[in-house]
Each structure stands twice: as structure tokens, then as C-alpha cells.
Structure 1
Amino acid sequence: MAAEILLPPLIYDMCLVSKMVFTPNPTTNDFLAAVICDINGFARVTAGAKRWAILDPIRLNDGDQITDLLYHRNGMVYCLTRFRDVHVLHLPQHRCRNLSSSRATH
């Protein structure tokens, strides 16, 4: 069954997003998404977040760029470069949004 997952806008200086990955079996209230921004930057967002977290760029060799992403498990995202290097990002685990604690009580 498909679910629509609404993401906050990604505001990152003239960001060109070339690839996005989600955790396996994402749901509206439990997901992590990561994107390639430009040639060596990354951003991530989790369920319930109001904005993307911009991560530090990966240091690449001159002329290289990130071309592909693969979410593995336990928050590990493998990044493949044009020169066939592999970098591993260790992202915080995705988390379920606790809807009851986000509601105001009167």
C-alpha cells in the first residue's frame, strides 16, 4: 500500500538534488530521507521534522562528485562517486513521530 510522505522544502544555496533515498518501508510517521545536494553535499530529514538537516560536505578529489546513494541499515548510507570511491555516512536512526506528545493539552 502506497503512502504519501510530505517533506518540508529543501532550502540550500541553489541546491541541485540529484538523488534521494528513504529508509526501507517508509510511512508517513516513520521515515528518514537523505538527498545529494550539488556535488558533495547532503541533507536529511526525519518524520516530524520541520526542516532538513544540512550535513557537512564530503571531501572529494578534484573533479569528483557523488553520483549515487544506497541506504543500508542502522542509519548507514553508502555514497558512490564518479571516480568509484565509496563513502559511508552514519545517520541517526529514523524515529517514529510520537503524535500524542506533539498535541497540545488544555
Structure 2
Amino acid sequence: MTVAGVRVGVNGGLALLLLALGVTFSLLVGERFYAASTLRSMAFQLPELGILSLAMMITLLKGGLNLSIVATANLSGLTMAWCLTTLVPGSEGLMWGFWQIVSLLAG
């Protein structure tokens, strides 16, 4: 790929895409895009993505292709969010502990 007559490899093209997306979103959203709350939100979400990536890597290294890992994680997250918000409103802390015990018993 060439940009302005300069040959750019795959990683360079991805870096340019990341830069273009950063500029675009900063223009669309304004100063909220580079706020501390945005960084905190991303930092809160990335560990889960790393754990899912490790689970997928183990499956791929064994020679299989198991896409159900991501689907199971999504379903468990949605189920947990539904249980925390609808079963007993106002007692999220109590429900959080209860569902941790249930998940440990389930394996």
C-alpha cells in the first residue's frame, strides 16, 4: 500500500487507520473522547477481552476452532446484567455476592 508516494506496510496502514479514527471521533464527539472517563471505561473493558483472547488462543493452539467461548461469555454477561437489574432492584451488592456464590457452585 502506498500513501502519498510512500510505501506503507500492513502495520503502517493499520496505524494510519487508527490515527484517522482518532481524529474522526475527536471531531464528532469533541473533548469527551479524550476525557479521563473514556480512558477509564476502556481500561475497565480490556482485561475481559484479554482473558477471552487467551481462551481463544489455547483453543487455536490445540488445533481446534471454538467460537463458543465468546458466545458463552456474552451470554453470561447479559444474564448477569439482567439478574442484577431486574430481580431485586436496589440491592445490587447483595445480588452480586449471591451470583458469585452461584457461579462458583456451577463451576
Q: TM-score when scaled to structure 1?
A: 0.21
Higher relative contact order (CA 8 A, sep 6+): 1
Which structure has more strand as a fraction of its residues? 1
Larger radius of gyration: 2
Which structure has more helix as a fraction of its residues? 2
